[in-house]
Amino acid sequence: MTPKEECEELMNGILPFTINCLEKYGEFFPCGAVMRNDKTITLTASYDGDEKPESKDVIVKLENIHRKLANDGEIIASAIAYDTKINNQIEDAITISLEHKDNYSVKVVFPYKIKKKLFKNKIDFYDTLANEGSNNIFKY
């Protein structure tokens, strides 16, 4: 598989988790996933006991965890998912930052709207966007 295909597989591993959180709770904390050398996908989290951590702090901790795994040669791809605002802070979106050891990096953005329901929210998605990634997990 190509680096892009492996990142897409990793994205497809973390996206259902974020959608499930939105459906149940109407929000989600930043979370991560990695693809190990044997192609297995593992979810990663950063929890320090704080019930309401700042998202940016959680993202930094996840990046540090993934960077260490990459430096130790344990992973081939990294994904970090977080809730963002787009279009002048009007629309909500799931952003997934993907990076592969073979110099591939992209941010995929899934704009959404929550329709409140009694027991389970319904999530409507709009056109997906993709932008160049930040290349901050693997050393190229």
140 has pLDDT over 70: no
132 has pLDDT over 80: yes
Model confidence pLDDT, tens digit, residues 35-82: 999 999 999 977 666 677 788 999 999 999 999 999 999 999 999 999
Secondary structure string (H, E, C) spanning the chain: CCHHHHHHHHHHHHHHHHHHHHHHHCCCCCEEEEEECCCCEEEECCCCCCCCCCHHHHHHHHHHHHHHHHHCCCEEEEEEEEEEEECCCCEEEEEEEEEECCCEEEEEEEEEEEECCCCCCEEEECCCEEEECCCCCCCC
pTM (predicted TM-score): 0.91
